[in-house]
């Protein structure tokens, strides 16, 4: 049978202590110290991923480092640990391995990892882009906004996901602002967009200023800390947070009932899939990056796919086409670990309208 593996890791020490209950009251530095010493492990066997054309099975492989460790430990140490996780995937029999969360961010975004493995590698970022844009557009529509006339902001616009998101959105949006830390890189993205689409995108390194007028936001930074706070957003704003850890503070959900926050890249997997591991989603749903690995296995495309910092619009369009062929689709919306219902969206919309009226 065709098969795949997907590398996961604890986002923070709370993830580790939830998995290993005996660590519950241990200090963070002790938990991270132990994680650093542990080898990669097989977490679960994934069965039942089935489309009209093929059926595949796979494995979750755990790389025991938190996000903070991935960003602060020496890069060589982290890459070696991810490569060891990839070699475990090889040993299990996987023909392609996907890089989850920060394992796709460290170093050169998967290129070095691929060079050290005998199987194909993908970050899953192309399908993450496709579903983030689809989700943001759909959520905006439900909130009564037309992406063509909305103030659209991409935060992290110089990263591999943010850059191609900006290029695709520029084909539809009239008002686009690119946000990033490096002005020179932002200018390069804006110039590329101008050449390809004729749209003159604004650029800024100031997140707060960019958010003041934003109707639709896609945020996709590799920041370890949150960067969007309750006071930053205008009533009725729609934010698609693709980042892990999140870019949007939990306080936004607690204090702002007039803005809609959704997570990017949650999809329904075809077949009677059983992940045999609870990562907090509804049954038969997964992150888009996981899904991309499954799609390539279903298609027998055992080749490196979404690697490096330069994803292309063509890659996003190709994986979208293959996803539709095999029956993958957007799985509604989620926000802060919970499904978002249409009733909730209607309530947010009403709250936003009331708040806007009260300020007239």
222 and 305 inside one domain = no
18 and 106 inside one domain = yes
Digit-coded pLDDT (tens) for 103-157: 988 888 899 999 999 999 999 999 999 999 999 999 999 999 999 999 999 999 9
* Closest by Cα among 225, 227, 237 to 179: 227
**Cβ atoms of residues 331 and 340 within 8 Å:** no
147 and 100 inside one domain = no
58 and 14 inside one domain = yes
Residue 360 pLDDT > 80: no
261 and 293 inside one domain = no
164 and 32 inside one domain = no
* Closest by Cα among 138, 134, 146 to 260: 138
Q: Looking at residue 190, what is its pLDDT?
A: 97
Range of the domain at 338: 128-265+334-358
339-340-343 Cα angle (round to 5)? 135
Digit-coded pLDDT (tens) for 151-196: 999 999 998 889 999 999 999 999 999 999 999 999 999 999 999 9
Distance from first CA to last CA of the chain, Å, rounded? 63
Domain count of the chain?
2
Q: Where are the beta strands (DSSP E) in 292-344?
A: 329-330, 333-335, 338-340
Which residue's entry shows tokens 């009251």?
25
273 and 261 inside one domain = no
Task: Look at the alpha carbons of 340, 345, 346, 347 in this order and tell me if their dihedral is positive or negative.
Answer: positive
Q: Looking at residue 73, what is its pLDDT?
A: 94
Q: Which two tokens stand for residue 264?
A: 């990017």
Q: Which two tokens stand for residue 315?
A: 């890659």
Look up the CATH number of the domain holding residue 143: 3.40.50.720
Q: Which two tokens stand for residue 286?
A: 């997964």
DSSP 156: T
190 and 96 inside one domain = no
Q: Looking at residue 18, what is its pLDDT?
A: 76
Digit-coded pLDDT (tens) for 307-339: 988 899 999 999 999 999 999 999 888 888 788
140 and 78 inside one domain = no
pLDDT confidence tier of residue 344, bands split at 50, 70 and 90: very high
Q: Is the pTM of this model over 0.85?
A: yes
Q: How many Å apart are CA 84 and CA 87, to the nearest integer?
A: 5
93 and 25 inside one domain = yes
343 and 286 inside one domain = no
Digit-coded pLDDT (tens) for 212-231: 999 999 999 978 789 999 99
Digit-coded pLDDT (tens) for 72-89: 999 999 999 999 999 999
145 and 201 inside one domain = yes
Q: Looking at residue 19, what is its pLDDT?
A: 74
Backbone angles phi, psi at 270, to 5 degrees: -70, 155
């Amino acid at each position: 049978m065709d098969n795949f593996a997907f590398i996961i890791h604890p986002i923070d020490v709370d993830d580790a202590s939830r998995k290993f209950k005996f660590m519950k009251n241990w200090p963070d530095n002790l938990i991270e110290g132990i994680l650093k010493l542990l080898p990669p492990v097989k977490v679960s066997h994934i069965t039942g991923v089935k489309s009209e054309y093929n059926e595949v099975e796979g494995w979750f492989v755990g790389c025991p480092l938190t996000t903070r460790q991935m960003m602060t430990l020496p890069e060589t140490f982290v890459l070696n640990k991810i490569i060891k996780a990839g070699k475990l995937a090889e040993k299990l029999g996987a023909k392609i391995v996907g890089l989850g969360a920060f394992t796709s961010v460290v170093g050169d975004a998967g290129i070095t990892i691929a060079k050290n493995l005998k199987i194909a590698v993908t970050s899953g970022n192309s399908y993450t882009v496709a579903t983030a844009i689809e989700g943001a557009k759909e959520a905006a529509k439900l909130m009564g906004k037309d992406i063509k006339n909305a103030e659209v902001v991409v935060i992290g616009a110089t990263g591999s996901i943010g850059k191609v998101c900006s290029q695709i959105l520029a084909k539809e949006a009239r008002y686009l602002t690119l946000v990033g830390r490096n002005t020179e890189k932002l200018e390069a993205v804006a110039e590329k967009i101008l050449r390809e689409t004729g749209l003159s995108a604004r650029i800024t390194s100031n997140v707060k200023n960019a958010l003041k007028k934003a109707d639709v936001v896609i945020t996709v930074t590799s920041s370890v800390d949150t960067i969007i706070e309750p006071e930053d957003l205008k009533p009725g704003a729609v934010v698609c947070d693709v980042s892990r850890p999140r870019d949007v503070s939990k306080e936004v959900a607690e204090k702002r009932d007039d803005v809609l926050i959704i997570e990017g890249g949650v999809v329904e997997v075809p077949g009677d899939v059983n992940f045999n591991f609870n990562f907090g989603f509804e049954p038969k749903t997964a992150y888009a990056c996981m899904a991309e690995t499954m799609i390539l296995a279903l298609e027998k495309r055992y080749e490196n796919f979404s690697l490096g910092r330069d994803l292309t619009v063509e890659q996003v369009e190709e994986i979208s086409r293959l996803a539709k062929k095999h029956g993958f689709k957007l799985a509604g919306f989620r926000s802060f670990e919970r499904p978002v219902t249409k009733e909730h969206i209607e309530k947010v919309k009403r709250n936003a309208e009331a708040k806007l009226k009260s300020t007239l």
